[in-house]
Each structure stands twice: as C-alpha cells, then as structure tokens.
Amino acid sequence: MTLINSDINTAKTILEANDLVAIPTETVYGLAANASNEEAVKKIFILKKRPEYNPLIVHIGAITDLEKVAFNIPTVAYKLAKAFWPGPLTLLLEKKDIIPDIVTAGSKKVAVRMPNHPLTLELLRQLSFPLAAPSANPFMSISPTKPEHVKSYFDGYLKFILDGGSCINGIESTIIGFKNDKAILYREGSCAVSEIEKITGKLHFVPSVSAQPQAPGMLKKHYAPKTPLVVTSNHRNLLLQNSGKKVGVLTFAKIKENTENEIYKSLTQNESLTEAAASLYATLIELDALGLELIIAEYVPNKGIGKAINDRLRRASFL
C-alpha cells in the first residue's frame, strides 16, 4: 500500500534513505529521488519504465542553490530565475559534478527548476540535496495532477505520496536553454513564452516534436491516453465520420448534452485557458477510463498557455 498524506517528515526520511517519494508541484506531480545519489535516481527510471536516454529535471529550494548544481550561468538565466522562480520554468545549464550522469543521460547540461508549491519548497529547504524528479507517471502515459492519479499508477510500488492537493497550473514547466547567451525554447509549458520574451527577446524555438531521444524536450508521442485520440479544430466533422462509435469529445467551448454514444467534457466553464490547462490531464484521465473507442479533442485558442495545451494535445494524439 502506498501511503498518502501531507507530512513532510515522512517524505524527508524516505528520501534521505535514497528511496522514492511523489511530490506535488504547481505543474504536475513529480517522482522524486536524491539527485546526487545514482542508486536513488536509478529507482526512478525503473519504476517509470523510462529509458535511460531521457534525462531528469533537478529541483532546488532556493535560487542560491543554483550554483550547487550548475556553473557558467548566463546573466540572462539569472534574470529568468529571479523573474519566474519559484515557478514553472526549467533552465538548461552546465552541470556540476555533484549531479551524476544518470540524471542528465550523459549530457553536460542539467535541467534545473525551483517549483512553486509550499510543501515541496519546505521539503527542499529541509533536505541537504536537490531532488531529481520527472512527472510521476509511467513512461508515455498522462502526467498526474492529483495524488490519486499517482496512486492509480504506482499503488504498492511507491512508499509515499506527499499530498499537496491538485496541481494549480496542470501542465509541465517551460524548458529554456542557452547558446552564446541567447535563450532557446525547448518545450512549451506553463510559463508563457510571451512573458519569457519580455526578458530574453525573441526566443529561438527548437521543435521538441522530435523522434530523436537525445533531443531535449523529448519524444513526439507523450502524455498519451490508452484510448486513441485525434485532435482537430472542429469536432463536428470527425463526429460524423465516426458515427456509431462510442466517442469522447474534449472541448474548450461549453459542453453539449451527452448522448448514448457521445460523452462531452469541457476543459473550462468560462473559456479560461488557465482553467483549461489545470484540468487538461485530469479530464483526459477521466475520459480514458470510460472504455471509449475514440477521443476527439478540439484545439484551444493558440495564445498564451493555450500553445502549451495544444502542444500536449498533439502529443497525445495517435496521428
């Protein structure tokens, strides 16, 4: 049985024994281990069934901890950290030796962020090491935004879930790297690009939809439900083409009445992209549990955090 409560001391004891704990963040739940201990980090890859070529983000509890894990930090990186931390922004920086190669999949760059969740920040401040943590889901499945999602994935195989309630942002962090002090966007995420560009100027985008595992920002298909999912700008045509099938329809607009074969779920009650991001994964997990033949997801408005939502919908689709 996996224990779930909000006791930081339990989390601390388990992590200090180099075992795993699921931790809440403002984006998604993370599956955390002592980032400076290779054996502890190995357990993350095994439990997630994650290939070792896919590196992990290191979580710190204060901006001043940045220099413990990275060096040669560009001025613009500091500016970003000051502007957005604690928060959903990950910075790719040159790695110090305290971080073992397994964390970065052999790369000389380490991904670092300071998450914005009171329980996890307090935990990080009490620990004498940073935490390596990918999202707390099996490889290729939907990221968890509630403790019960983590439990359904790993019940019995994980000692403890630190219960910090539902994740407020609901989509993973934005990943930024640097080349000659210029900022590069590797993964869209909860930190809006338009806000980052106020500090960095126009970002160079390296498309993360790459099949090449070494590419930062990872794999093309990801975050996917088991039910086939298609993404479209208008669900009606696809509904007609699939009439007779049991389908789920995921929309940004207000929902229609369900029929025998059509289950509608809206990501937001008031056309809010923030609310849509927060409910995206939980809604996909709900739809995935209904035994449907197909999920038809409609793109949300492609602005602000909507870009990250659309990126995740594309990666969840089987096309």
Contact residue for ligand TXA among 24, 27, 36, 249 (CB under 6 A)? 27
Question: Footprint of ligand TXA on residues 179-238 (CB under 6 A)?
Answer: 216-218
227 binds Mg ion (CB under 5 A): no
**Residue nearest Mg ion by beta-carbon distance:** 135
Looking at this protein, which amino acid is placed at residue 278? A
Nearer to ligand TXA, 133 or 193 (CB): 133
Q: How far is residue 148 from each of residues 23, 69, 154, 241, 261, measured CA to CA in Å?
A: 12, 32, 10, 35, 28
Instruction: Give DSSP secondary structure letters for 57-89.
Output: EEE-SSGGGHHHHEES--HHHHHHHHHH-SSSE
CB of 227 to ligand TXA, least distance (A): 21
CB of 256 to Mg ion, least distance (A): 32
For residue 25, give the 3-state DSSP assignment. coil
Q: Which does 30 bind (CB under 5 to 8 A by kind): ligand TXA, Mg ion, none?
A: ligand TXA
65 binds ligand TXA (CB under 6 A): no
Question: Which residues, in sequence order, are bridge partners of residue 175?
Answer: 90, 187
CB of 56 to Mg ion, least distance (A): 10
Number of residues that bind ligand TXA (CB under 6 A): 26
Q: How far is residue 217 from each of residues 1, 176, 177, 212, 222, measured CA to CA in Å?
A: 33, 10, 10, 10, 11
DSSP state of 102: H
Rounded CA-CA distance 94/91 in Å is 10
250 binds ligand TXA (CB under 6 A): no
Find the helix or strand (DSSP H, E) in which 306 lies.
helix 306-316
Q: Which does 80 bind (CB under 5 to 8 A by kind): ligand TXA, Mg ion, none?
A: none
DSSP state of 158: -
35 binds ligand TXA (CB under 6 A): no
Report yes or no: 107 and 126 within 8 Å, Cβ to Cβ: no
Contact residue for ligand TXA among 86, 87, 134, 164 (CB under 6 A)? 134
Q: Which does 173 bind (CB under 5 to 8 A by kind): ligand TXA, Mg ion, none?
A: ligand TXA
Contact residue for ligand TXA among 12, 43, 96, 109 (CB under 6 A)? 109
Which of 159, 53, 67, 64 has its CA nearest to residue 106? 53
Among the residue ranges 109-117, 135-143, 229-237, 256-264, the one whose residues contact Mg ion (CB under 5 A): 135-143
Q: Which does 27 bind (CB under 5 to 8 A by kind): ligand TXA, Mg ion, none?
A: ligand TXA
111 binds ligand TXA (CB under 6 A): yes
Nearer to ligand TXA, 167 or 249 (CB): 167
135 binds Mg ion (CB under 5 A): yes
Report yes or no: 76 and 200 within 8 Å, Cβ to Cβ: yes
Rg (CA), the chain: 19
Query: The tokens of 27 are what?
Result: 């984006």
Instruction: Kindly list the residues in this chain that would bind ligand TXA in the complex (CB under 6 A).
Output: 25, 27-28, 30, 54-57, 88, 90, 92, 104, 107, 109-111, 115, 133-135, 172-173, 175, 216-218
Instruction: Kindly list the residues in this chain that would bind Mg ion in the complex (CB under 5 A).
Output: 135
